[in-house]
Structure 1
Amino acid sequence: MSADNQPRLRRPVLLDNPNADRIRKVSALAGRPARRRTGEVLVEGPQAVREAVRFCGRDLIDVYISEDAAERYPELVAEAKKATHWVHPMTAEVGRAISPDCQGIAAVVKDFRTDGLPKIDWDFVVVMAETQDPGNAGNIIRAADAAGADGIIACSGTVDISSPKVVRASAGSVFHLPSITNVGFDEVAEWVKARGMRLVAADGGGSIDLFDAEDGLESLDLAAPIAWVFGNEAHGFERIDTSAFDHSVAIPLAGHAESLNVSSAAAVCLFSTARTRRRMGA
């Protein structure tokens, strides 16, 4: 076949109308109703989109990249084009219409959450019980991922972890480990106990000192199967049955700070657990 007769690949059309129906549908995914209706999730920003491209596989639906962002992140553009045919160039104005927080890069993926508790056995689990702030939830998921947790359970009353704000705060960790939703705390507690895990609350008024537990001076063995529970930013565990907890753990504070926020506390507790498990070969 001569060069003149070779099939020509169509150049992707530049998306330049911020009011187009397609753009409106994508931007609507910032809201829960659109996510529920479509079963799709909006991913904002280069870091979260990069992880979606690398880990979502066939659940990656579309990628949108502005001309400026394509120049700043050429390696991300190359990865996205290997992962899907649906990489759409767009103007900066369209990017802002999709999301003012996307930095010129956005993606749409299928909903990554799973309803109902898994039948497989985990031994290092993170439970969010009515955690409300998207930034805190995303940071807890990121810390859980980095510490080597098996999965995340977001109990009923917790912020929607498919929210773009949670996805962005997690830096894409939502795509790295299973996320369970639409389960009540009582059901989670029963599931944890049935699998031989201890249900452990991170609580400023807890009776066990985390550092003493890490040093083996407490009855809590951080290397054994464990489910950490992190509560509501304002109310803590006031709205759940705390009698289900096997242990309540406090982080010792050396300075004048009254407390840590829930995501900072989660990072300390989870890495204390990870360090102990590593030392004990768990």
Structure 2
Amino acid sequence: MLENPRSPRVRAVAKLSKRTARQETGLYLLEGPQAAREVLTYRPDTLAELYATPSAWEKHQDIREIAEESGVDVIFASEPVLDAMADTVTPQGIIAVARQAPTSVRDVFADAPRLIVICEEVRDPGNLGTIIRAADAVGADAVVLTGRTVDPYNPKVVRATTGSLFHLPVAVGADLAGAIDRARGAGLRVIAADVGGDDFLAHRDTLAEPTAWVFGNEARGLDEEALALVDMSLRLPIYGRAESLNLATAASVCLYESAFAQRADR
């Protein structure tokens, strides 16, 4: 049982909250029973280490059973050790370390996708995690992140996805122009969500077509160069007095509208 919060092993896990450590090792941090449950269920092949306090391990019988079925051994640790490893204040007694497993951009567009999300310079971890979660909820085929977007293996992003990171392909480090070219080559209409775009309601019929949505930076949106690459730009109507919609909220609405239209068309 690990009991020393200052041991090299504990420090190595704690460093994964930093991007440089994640880049050097190819590993990332998962905190809490929900994250452990999801990675064990959907991507046990990526799991490198699993830590738990004895009381947390006893409490979560379902996680114990999944770990046993997957042949994953737990490493018991004291609460001070879990606290030292964690990025959060309350790690809930379970922490895992997993290997990053992004999908290639080429593979994302290889199998005739119908709904793709492309994120360009999305910087807020909570927003990106929520967008990945929404993409999962609507049944999107994949999420593509350009090189200017926050690292999807950032602990805050991972927590915000609530497990959706393991449910659909996520490509990282893409070039926006290249991703759009691949989307168009795969037969997708490329639509940007932009406050200066056309009225969303005037183009709802087009959403039944295979679509790649492009979402930009929280503060600046997409620049003119990026907007020139897409097929059309659409804005969501504001009926009340709100100045604007949060990026993740707007993205969720756009993706659900596409999902509704595509399923109705089928």
- Aligned-partner Cα distance in 2 for 1:167–1:79: 20
- Give 1:100 deviation, angstroms: 4.4
Match of 2:141 in 1: 150
Match of 1:59 in 2: 46
Alignment of 1:243-282 (within 5 A): 243-281=228-266
Match of 2:123 in 1: 132
Match of 1:46 in 2: 33
Question: Is contact 1:47–1:171 with CA below 8 Å preserved after alignment?
Answer: yes
State the Cα deviation string for residues 107-157 of structure 1 (Å, max 9, x = none): 111112134432613221000000000110000000001111110100110
- Aligned-partner Cα distance in 2 for 1:239–1:172: 34
Match of 1:31 in 2: 18
Match of 2:208 in 1: 223
Match of 2:69 in 1: 82
| Residues 63 and 147 of structure 1: CA distance in aligned 2, closer, same or farther (over 3 Å) | same
- Give 1:81 deviation, angstroms: 2.9
- Aligned-partner Cα distance in 2 for 1:240–1:71: 55
- Give 1:199 deviation, angstroms: 0.9
Residue identity opposite 2:99 in structure 1: K
- The structure with more helix, counted as a fraction of residues: 2
- Give 1:204 deviation, angstroms: 2.2
The secondary structure found in structure 1 opposite 2:131 is helix
Question: Is contact 2:103–2:172 with CA below 8 Å preserved after alignment?
Answer: yes
Question: Is contact 1:117–1:183 with CA below 8 Å preserved after alignment?
Answer: no
State the Cα deviation string for residues 162-196 of structure 1 (Å, max 9, x = none): 11111111011111111111221111111111111
Question: Is contact 2:14–2:87 with CA below 8 Å preserved after alignment?
Answer: no
Match of 2:220 in 1: 235
Question: Is contact 1:198–1:225 with CA below 8 Å preserved after alignment?
Answer: yes
Question: Is contact 1:61–1:86 with CA below 8 Å preserved after alignment?
Answer: no
How much is the aligned-residue C-alpha RMSD, in angstroms? 1.7
Percent identical residues: 39
Gaps of at least 5 residues in structure 2 are none
Question: Is contact 1:113–1:162 with CA below 8 Å preserved after alignment?
Answer: no
State the Cα deviation string for residues 244-264 of structure 1 (Å, max 9, x = none): 111111111221111111111
The secondary structure found in structure 1 opposite 2:213 is strand
Give the greater-gyration-radius structure (CA). 1
- Aligned-partner Cα distance in 2 for 1:100–1:164: 7
| Residues 138 and 42 of structure 1: CA distance in aligned 2, closer, same or farther (over 3 Å) | same
Match of 1:107 in 2: 96
Match of 1:7 in 2: none
Question: Is contact 2:87–2:155 with CA below 8 Å preserved after alignment?
Answer: no
The secondary structure found in structure 1 opposite 2:130 is helix
- Aligned-partner Cα distance in 2 for 1:240–1:24: 43
- Aligned-partner Cα distance in 1 for 2:152–2:72: 27
Match of 1:213 in 2: 203
Question: Is contact 1:63–1:80 with CA below 8 Å preserved after alignment?
Answer: no
- Aligned-partner Cα distance in 2 for 1:226–1:175: 22
The secondary structure found in structure 2 opposite 1:189 is helix
Question: Is contact 1:81–1:87 with CA below 8 Å preserved after alignment?
Answer: no
Residue identity opposite 1:248 in structure 2: S
Q: Is 1:117–2:106 an aligned residue pair? A: yes
- Give 1:68 deviation, angstroms: 3.6
- Aligned-partner Cα distance in 2 for 1:191–1:213: 23
- Give 1:72 deviation, angstroms: 3.9
- Aligned-partner Cα distance in 2 for 1:109–1:240: 37
Q: Is 1:193–2:184 an aligned residue pair? A: yes
Question: Is contact 2:227–2:233 with CA below 8 Å preserved after alignment?
Answer: no
- Give 1:57 deviation, angstroms: 2.6
What TM-score, normalized by structure 2, do the two folds share?
0.92
- Equivalenced residues, count: 262
